[in-house]
């Protein structure tokens, strides 16, 4: 089987956002157009030079793309909608990369977009003892309890992830939460489930994120600045297998990140920046360990030493992560790629991780599915 | 030991020693699962005659537990305790606990019991399954 690294090189050349925020009455069309126009301007290309478009959305429902993208000038380009729960944006990004890598397109747009529209899953027909009691934050409260018991860490220490990520979010103009928080503020917030408090849980609002990917040919032909092009050196994806117990997302993450690192011929310890699916504080610790940044149970110690802060060994969630930047679902996975690209370009301003050269974006989608992309400054 | 009707009789049954049974299944490949289903085996893909009902004893150990302080759903008042239980018979189940604000810690032995709770109709009482610490 081939992987992305066996195909022709793909580069991210443009990134753009509509800031993430709490729900408003504004049409999604405005959010999407803002992000796409910003990405086009960032790449210095015009909409008609896009060969294909992939729209990642989990909540907008059927056929949301064309009513939005037609306002850029309807060129008739191939248009596909991609749904993969929280990883919808990551899936759209992978689809765009593959379209270019295998030569079906020279340029492609990945757009993640959503509004906070409640959309329950269709029942599989199989119930549980009390499935309604196990909403997402309770699932992760249970994982926090299990991790704390297994590794002998105080659950309050887990809250330090939120302190770091709120601090990063305070430096990100696209973040939904832009306020630095102390440990006391995080712990003193509204108790949600187990030891999780409200500031340890991601907000789900609205927004959009967009990236433009292209081939080396297109960089030359369209006069794109090669000095700001960031290469996608790996794309990996997988779904849950039985037998992993309660901690299936971490086991799946370990497998998928392992595949991505093997494709890129990198080790986890070589990553300078890592955007993870930190919807809840405990996840960042689990996934840092699954990515091979440290051994099991060691993440909390490294966090306390500052290893995961901006300027540390590997800046985790430099954007603020899902906890502070927000998790509007469709945009999240695309926005992570945009953040890693911004960091590797050295354009992240106040939240720049100095000397960032290799980065990863990791996302989990309910189900579970997981994605990992490695990006590198050539 | 009899009492009001069971809330989810497809999922569990009364045991004669006070410990409830869980209605699970087993596949010809040896995989034991809960709840019982005839869609197919998650481990090997077997279906049809490969899958047979198997009663699972409601005994196990806590993998994780939590007190839910704020619940984002209708029909359930917080606070309440939830747990992940590894059954002695194999499967891992997610369940409500009898405790409130005092959930048993990982590793503690627990058993399934049927407790009376309010039903959907006004004044109705039903029995539902909870896990509690083994005496
Ligand atoms: Zn089987």
B135 CA: distance to closest CA in chain A (Å): 22
Contact state of B37 with A143 under an 8 Å Cβ cutoff: no
Locate the chain B residue with the closest alpha carbon to A191: B69
Mean pLDDT of chain A: 96
Calculate mean pLDDT across residues B121-134.
95
Q: Measure B42 CA to ligand 1 centroid, in angstroms.
A: 7
- The radius of gyration of chain B from alpha carbons, rounded to an integer in Å, stands at 16
Q: Measure B43 CA to ligand 1 centroid, in angstroms.
A: 5
Q: pLDDT above 90 covers what percent of chain B? A: 87
B1 pLDDT more than 60: no
Pairs of CB atoms within 8 A across A/B:
95
Residues of B in contact with A242 (CB under 8 A): 31, 42-43
Picking from A353, A355, A354, A274, the residue whose alpha carbon sits closest to that of residue A321 is A274
Residue A38 belongs to what H/E stretch?
A: helix A28-43
Q: Measure A128 CA to ligand 1 centroid, in angstroms.
A: 20
B120 pLDDT more than 90: no
Q: Measure A135 CA to ligand 1 centroid, in angstroms.
A: 29
The alpha carbon of residue A364 and the mean position of all alpha carbons in its chain are separated, in whole angstroms, by: 9
Chain A: residues touching B (Cβ < 8 Å): 125-135, 137-138, 141-146, 149-150, 190-195, 242-243, 245-246
Nearest to B64 among A133, A146, A242 (CB): A146
Nearest to A246 among B31, B63, B71 (CB): B63
DSSP string, A154-223: -HHHHTHHHHHHHHHHTT-TT-S------HHHHHHS-EEETTEEGGGB----EEEEEEEEE-HHHHHHTT
pLDDT band at B72 (very low <50, low <70, confident <90, very high): confident
Determine phi and psi for A51, rounding to 5 degrees: -90, -25
- Cis amide prior to B79 (ω within 30 degrees): yes
Give the Cα separation of A153 and A156 in Å (integer): 8
In chain A, what are the domains? Answer: 4-118+204-229 (3.40.47.10), 136-188+231-376 (3.40.47.10)
Least confident of A177-181, A237-241, B51-55, B70-74: B70-74
Nearest to A246 among B35, B43, B92 (CB): B92
Q: Measure A247 CA to ligand 1 centroid, in angstroms.
A: 22
Contact state of A142 with B84 under an 8 Å Cβ cutoff: yes
Do A117 and A31 contact (CB within 8 A), yes or no? Answer: no
On the 0-12 / 13-18 / 19+ scale of CB atoms within 10 A, A356 is: buried
Tell which wins on pLDDT, B55 or A244. B55
Tokens of A81: 């909608």
SS (H, E, C) chain B: CCCCCECCCCCEECCCCCCCEEEEEEECCCCEECCCCCCCCCCCCCCHHHEEEEEEECEEEEEEEEEECCCCCCCCCCCEEEEEEEECCCCEEEEEECCCCCCCCCCCEEEEEEEEEECCCCCCEEEEEEEEECC
Angle between helices A248-264 and A281-290 (to 10 degrees): 40
Side-chain-facing half-sphere of A30: CA atoms under 13 Å: 7
Q: Measure B37 CA to ligand 1 centroid, in angstroms.
A: 12
Nearest to A192 among B31, B70, B95 (CB): B70
Would you state the pLDDT for residue B55? 97
Chain A contact probe: residue of B45, B58, B64, B96 with most A CBs at under 10 A: B64
Residues of A in contact with B64 (CB under 8 A): 142-143, 145-146, 149, 246
CA distances, A356 to each of A1, A12, A32, A343, A351 (Å): 31, 16, 29, 6, 12
CA distances, B80 to each of A193, A339, B59, B101, B134 (Å): 10, 39, 21, 7, 19
B45's torsion region: left (phi>0), alpha (psi -120 to 50) or beta?
left
- CB contact B93 to A (< 8 Å): yes
Locate the chain A residue with the closest alpha carbon to B44: A242
Cβ atoms < 10 Å from Cβ of A117: 14
Which residues have C-beta within 8 Å of that of residue A265, sequence separation ≥ 6? Answer: none
Q: What is the pLDDT of residues A156-186, one digit of tens each?
A: 899 999 999 999 999 999 999 999 999 999 9
Residues of B in contact with A150 (CB under 8 A): 106
Contact state of A142 with B83 under an 8 Å Cβ cutoff: yes
Picking from A37, A44, A35, the residue whose alpha carbon sits closest to that of residue A227 is A44
Give the Cα separation of A292 and A295 in Å (integer): 7
Would you state the pLDDT for residue B73? 74
Tokens of A220: 């030359």
Which residues of chain A, if any, have pLDDT below 70?
Answer: none
Residues of A in contact with B76 (CB under 8 A): 132-133
Q: What is the pLDDT of residues A76-111, one digit of tens each?
A: 999 999 999 999 999 999 999 999 999 999 999 999
pLDDT band at B74 (very low <50, low <70, confident <90, very high): confident
Q: In what order do the strands lie in the sheet with A79-82?
A: A79-82, A53-56, A107-114, A206-214, A11-21, A230-239, A369-376, A358-365, A273-275, A315-316
- The radius of gyration of chain A from alpha carbons, rounded to an integer in Å, stands at 19
B15 pLDDT more than 70: yes
- CB contact B83 to A (< 8 Å): yes
Which residues have C-beta within 8 Å of that of residue A353, sequence separation ≥ 6? Answer: A272, A273, A310, A311, A315, A318, A343
DSSP SS3 for A28 = helix
Contact state of B69 with A191 under an 8 Å Cβ cutoff: yes
């Amino acid at each position: 089987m081939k992987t992305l690294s066996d195909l022709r090189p793909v580069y991210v050349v443009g990134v753009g956002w509509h800031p993430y925020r709490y729900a408003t009455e504004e049409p999604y069309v405005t959010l999407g157009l803002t992000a796409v126009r910003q990405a086009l301007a960032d790449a210095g290309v015009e909409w008609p030079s896009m060969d294909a478009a992939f729209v990642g959305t989990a909540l907008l429902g059927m056929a949301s793309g064309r009513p939005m993208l037609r306002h850029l000038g309807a060129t008739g380009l191939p248009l596909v909608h991609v749904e993969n729960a929280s990883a919808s944006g990551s899936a759209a990004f992978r689809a765009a990369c593959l379209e270019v890598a295998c030569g079906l397109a020279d340029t492609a747009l990945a757009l993640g977009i959503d509004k906070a529209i409640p959309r329950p899953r269709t029942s599989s027909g199989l119930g549980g003892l009390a499935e309604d009691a196990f909403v997402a934050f309770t699932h992760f409260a249970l994982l926090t309890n299990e991790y704390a018991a297994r590794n002998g860490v105080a659950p309050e220490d887990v809250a330090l992830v939120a302190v770091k990520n709120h601090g990063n979010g305070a430096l990100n103009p696209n973040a939904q939460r832009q306020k630095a928080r102390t440990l006391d503020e995080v712990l003193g917030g509204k108790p949600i489930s187990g030891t999780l408090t409200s500031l340890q849980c991601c907000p789900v609002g609205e927004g959009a994120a967009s990236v433009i990917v292209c081939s080396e040919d297109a960089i030359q032909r369209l006069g794109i600045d090669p000095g700001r092009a960031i290469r996608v050196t790996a794309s990996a994806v997988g779904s849950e297998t039985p037998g992993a117990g309660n901690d299936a997302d971490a086991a799946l993450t370990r497998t998928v990140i392992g595949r991505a690192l093997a494709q890129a011929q990198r080790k986890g310890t070589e990553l300078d920046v890592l955007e993870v699916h930190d919807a809840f504080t405990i996840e960042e610790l689990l996934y840092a360990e699954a990515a091979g940044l440290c051994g099991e149970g060691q993440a909390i110690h490294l966090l306390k030493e500052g290893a995961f802060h901006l300027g540390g060994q590997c800046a985790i969630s430099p954007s603020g992560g899902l906890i502070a930047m927000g998790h509007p679902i469709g945009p999240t996975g695309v926005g992570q790629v945009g953040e890693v690209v911004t960091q590797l370009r050295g354009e992240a301003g106040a939240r720049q991780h100095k000397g960032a050269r290799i980065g990863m974006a990791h996302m989990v989608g309910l189900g579970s599915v997981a994605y990992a992309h490695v990006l590198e400054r050539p | 030991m009899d009492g009001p009707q069971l809330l989810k009789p497809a999922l569990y049954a009364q045991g004669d020693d006070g410990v409830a049974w869980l209605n699970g299944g087993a596949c010809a490949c040896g995989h034991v699962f809960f709840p019982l289903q005839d869609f197919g085996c998650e481990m090997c893909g077997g279906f049809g005659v490969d899958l047979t009902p198997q009663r699972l004893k409601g005994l196990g150990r806590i993998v994780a537990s939590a007190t839910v302080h704020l619940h984002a759903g209708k029909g359930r008042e917080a606070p309440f305790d939830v747990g992940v239980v590894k059954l002695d018979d194999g499967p891992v189940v997610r369940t409500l606990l009898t405790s409130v604000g005092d959930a048993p810690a990982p590793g503690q032995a627990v058993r399934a019991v049927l407790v009376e709770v309010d039903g959907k109709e006004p004044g109705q009482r039903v029995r539902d399954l909870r896990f509690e610490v083994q005496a």
